[in-house]
Amino acid sequence: RGSAGRGGWEMAAWARAVRGLLLDVSGVLYDSGGDGGVPIAGSVEAVRRVKASGLKLRFCTNETQATREKFVKKLQGMGFDISVDEVTAPAPAACRILKERSLRPHLLVHNDLIPEFAEIDKANPNCVVIGDAAENFTYANLNEAFRVLIGMEKPVLISLGRGRYYKETDGLKLDVGAYMKALEYACDVQAEVVGKPAKMFFESALAEMGVPPQQAIMIGDDIVNDVGGAQRCGMRALQVRTGKYRPCDENHPHVKPDAYVNNLAEAVDVILQQL
């Protein structure tokens, strides 16, 4: 399963018979930050090459600090060829679930994400939806969400991902998973995760591409949520050594990527050579 850098047959094995790519965004395309973030070297060109090759492409993100429109506009400003309808993200998936189950959420999310829930009834909440609320993760806001949950006979907690941390330009930041766990513990409830690594999330991205899992490769920087989640769906998955990647990921006790690549550009080089 070794590194893409070794060349030869082993390198080709994981890259064969690919019809679709699923790309994580933060840590693979760019590093986010207070200044909007910066593209990772070679990633803008790599996306352009994938599109020119005719491979199917989905951007799979657990981004919940902005609407898809705002998020996509930011990436376009960095030079990425990306449109809203190519992005699989947790908030629209959560809205589908809320409507199907007649759930009215108490939202603990980033202010910039609230427009995604504009069509959803939020009066007299009967569930809590938690996303990466960043500065909105105050004691008062967490406690309010706790009170809504603990007051229910059967608490329903929906989490827009379960990441532990992510990387911004000024370092690592706590992600939604840490706060989700706090509410789970306090209310003795199991959160329903919408977003990576949930199987349903990857399956919907594959369905949107019209590609079966064995013909798709996921490329991400999160060993558990990107790589492990995709492999459980029957996909191959690569870990980039960018974003939140840390050398200890290469000794993960449970998840072994199909290959490690230094960055997205290197992965795309190898995949396109196989076409």
Segment 118-142 shows an average pLDDT of 97
Q: Does the N-terminal peptide bond of residue 247 adopt cis geometry, omega within 30 degrees of 0?
A: no
pLDDT digits (tens, 9 = 90+) for 23-59: 999 999 999 988 889 999 999 999 999 999 999 999 9
Question: What's the confidence (pLDDT) of residue 2?
Answer: 47
Phi-psi map region of 54: left, alpha, beta (phi>0 left; psi -120 to 50 alpha)? left
Asked whether the predicted pLDDT for residue 20 surpasses 80, the reply is: yes
Amino acid at 142: L
State the SS3 of 19-75. CEEEECCECCCEEECCCCCEECCCHHHHHHHHHHHCCEEEEECCCCCCCHHHHHHHH
pLDDT of 12 reads: 63
Q: What integer is the mean pLDDT of 216-222?
A: 98
Each residue's pLDDT tens digit, 141-158: 999 999 999 999 999 999
Rounded to the nearest integer, the mean pLDDT of the chain is 94
Q: Whole-prediction pTM value?
A: 0.90
User: Is it the case that residue 3 has pLDDT exceeding 60?
Assistant: no
User: What's the CA gap between 130 and 145, in Å, rounded?
Assistant: 9
What token pair was written down for 238?
A: 């690569």
Q: E strands of the chain, at which residues?
A: 20-23, 30-31, 38-39, 56-60, 87-88, 105-108, 127-130, 157-159, 165-168, 171-174, 192-193, 216-220, 236-240, 259-261
- Percent of the chain past pLDDT 90, that is, above it, reads 92
Question: What pLDDT is stored for residue 9 in this prediction?
Answer: 40
* CA dist., res. 85 & res. 111, Å (int): 22
Return the residue matching tokens 């007051």: 151
Q: Is 130's pLDDT higher than 70?
A: yes
Taken in order of first residue, the domains within the chain and their CATH numbers are 17-62+197-273 (3.40.50.1000), 94-193 (3.40.50.1000)
Mean pLDDT calculated for residue range 128-146: 97
State the average pLDDT over residues 193-210: 95
Whether the per-residue pLDDT at 8 is higher than 90: the answer is no
pLDDT band, residue 11 (cuts 50/70/90): low
Give the mean pLDDT of 232-237: 98
> Can you tell me the mean pLDDT for 229-239?
97
How many other CB atoms sit within 10 Å of the CB of residue 262? 16
Whether residue 240 contacts residue 262, with contact meaning beta carbons closer than 8 Å, is answered with yes
Sign of the four-CA dihedral 244, 59, 255, 163: positive
Over residues 122-146, mean pLDDT: 97
pLDDT tens for 57-107 read 999 999 999 999 999 999 999 999 999 999 999 999 999 999 999 999 999
pLDDT reported for residue 36: 86
Q: Which residue from 268, 254, 260, 256 is spatially nearest to 55, judged by alpha carbons?
A: 268
Above 80 in pLDDT, residue 264? yes
Per-residue pLDDT averaged across 230-239, rounded? 98
Instruction: Summarize the confidence of residues 183-205 as an average pLDDT.
Output: 96
